[in-house]
Amino acid sequence: MKTATSMQAKAMGKVAVLMGGSSAERDISLLSGQGVLTALQSRGIDAHAFDPQLRSLWELKDQGFSRCFIALHGRHGEDGTVQGALELMGIAYTGSGVMASSIAVDKVMTKRIWQAHGLATPAYRVLGPDAQSDVQQLHALAGALGLPFIVKPPHEGSSIGVTKVSDAAHTPEAVSLAARFDRDVLCEEFITGQELTCPVIGSGADARALPIVRIEAPEGAYDYQNKYFTDVVRYHCPSGLPPAQEHSIQAMVLASYRALGCRGWGRADLMLRASDGCAFLLEMNTSPGMTSHSLVPMSARAAGISYEDLCLQLLATAALDADSTRGKAA
């Protein structure tokens, strides 16, 4: 087993693996964080668990941490808030910066930017608080988006609060569920076809897409339970797609990543429409899962990168937004 050299480990300094947090994805974050922590420690890194729900972030500065591996998911971890705090403290961190994180966690803003860049994403409607009980607006969704359609909270991940509406009569129930997790509710056209995911590592011109993972869930139910706590979902990596199609989708994912200003790493989720083979972007995860069921490590393995080496590579990219703007004229 390879370990980081003593010089490399020293250069990394004291590392905090941020995990847990206060979002609805806390449990998954703890699993991700423990995996990353064990991997980094196995490579000789001075890494420590740090749960922002239990400790003040300012302890990071007081206790001499030099960089953070962000294994937080969802709000207060993947939305630019913790990134902003780390910017103020001058502690380098993995993943996207403040602006890219805050945009990518908002599925509606993400879709608007992708549309502005000419990138395909499913048609959608957004319901604010007043519209969520408006019978006329709820009734109009099936006509605007077709049946079935998807209802989801735009700021959550891990399929939390998501419903596939196949009968318009069930729309109010689906909207009510999503509204438990978010102020607004996103209603989205359902794309019939294959679900795909494609990780990206790196930044700017050096960013590269890893192999695509094709997901095969029972009856298309790739939900929270099946994602993390069962073995009924089948994952195909290599994806089995024709090479030209895979390369085209990877190029699309890179364009979507750069359009949002992401850096470090991320993972785009897509649907491949069965009728014509067109790909549609669903969302960009800027702090993807790193559990035993997670898809970035699976894709990395297919590219010849072990879980431990992936964690080391990502840690080495830790940076501050300030690093990219320092020295520029105001």
- Mind telling me the catalytic residues? 25, 158, 228, 267, 269, 283, 285, 289
- CA gap 237, 294 in Å, rounded: 12
DSSP state of 121: -
3-state class (DSSP) for residue 220: helix
Strands (E), the chain: 14-18, 46-50, 67-70, 92-93, 124-127, 149-152, 163-165, 185-189, 193-201, 208-209, 213-216, 234-236, 265-273, 279-285
Residue with tokens 């024709």: 242
3-state class (DSSP) for residue 193: strand
Q: Is 279 exposed, middle or buried (0-12, 13-18, 19+ CB in 10 A)?
A: buried
- The answer for 114, left when phi > 0, alpha when psi is -120 to 50, beta otherwise, is alpha
CB 266 within 8 A of CB 210: no
Extract the tokens encoding 51: 């749960």
Cα within 13 Å of Cα(269), Cβ side: 23
